[in-house]
Amino acid sequence: MLVGAFLSADKVISIFSVNRALLDEYTGWRGEDYTLDVRFFAELGSLMLAKDYCRAQQMRTLVWQDFASAFREGGVDVIVVPTTAATAKTLPDTPGESLELEYSDGYREDVMWSYCRYTVPISLSSCPSLSTPCGFAGDGLPIGMQIVAAPFDEERAFQVGHAYELATDWGARHPSKVMEAVASTAE
């Protein structure tokens, strides 16, 4: 079983730390150029202890090893997973208000974690991936799938994605909700 099926504390620490390292020089003097959630991740990264960062890197290595093993020893060419656990949601009217998703089994979670659930483990694995449209939900919003290839095998991810897009017309279709919103702003 692949380590990283869900967001763990170690993955979150790694995300915060890397975001802080990458954005540190910019958030101080260009903070207004970043959304609140990006600044939030960057600031939380500055609160991480070295021991937490080291543990997160150890976990990242395990995730990488699991993915590499699946490709190398498991005979896997690509892994196909949803891009996100849910479709886009309407922003709340009140700034700062939490946006939660409720699943059919009654489980609730913040939309941010729902949107990161399938992309973060892939990012931590250092495997190349791409996202392509693969349909629409009942509410007319788009659904994407992620095509993941072995480390350093970007070409295969692109080949599979290209073949999928040639075989389907999802990439040429437009989500009804988005088109309705565009039409209403044009009036």
Number of residues that this document lists for the chain = 187
For residue 30, what are its two tokens? Answer: 């260009």
10: domain range?
Answer: 1-76
Same structural domain for residues 39 and 88?
no
Residue ending a domain, among 19, 53, 76, is 76
Predicted local confidence at residue 157, as pLDDT: 95
Same structural domain for residues 98 and 64?
no
Same structural domain for residues 110 and 54?
no
Predicted local confidence at residue 1, as pLDDT: 37
Same structural domain for residues 56 and 20?
yes
Same structural domain for residues 177 and 89?
yes
For residue 168, what are its two tokens? Answer: 């389907």
For residue 37, what are its two tokens? Answer: 């959630």
Domain tally, the chain? 2
Same structural domain for residues 34 and 87?
no
SS3 sequence, 99-164? Answer: CEEECCCCCEEEHHHHHHCCHHHHHHHCCCEEEEEEEECCCCCEEEEEEEECCCCHHHHHHHHHHH
Same structural domain for residues 116 and 59?
no
Same structural domain for residues 165 and 86?
yes
SS3 97: coil
Q: Can you list the residues of the chain whose pLDDT is less than 70?
A: 1-31, 34, 37-42, 44-46, 90-92, 95-98, 177-187
| CA nearest to 99, candidates 107, 108, 8 | 108
Predicted local confidence at residue 186, as pLDDT: 61
Same structural domain for residues 63 and 81?
no
Predicted local confidence at residue 92, as pLDDT: 67
pLDDT tens digits for 113-149?
A: 778 888 888 888 889 999 999 988 887 888 899 999 9
Same structural domain for residues 1 and 87?
no
Predicted local confidence at residue 41, as pLDDT: 66
What is the pTM (predicted TM-score) of this model?
0.68
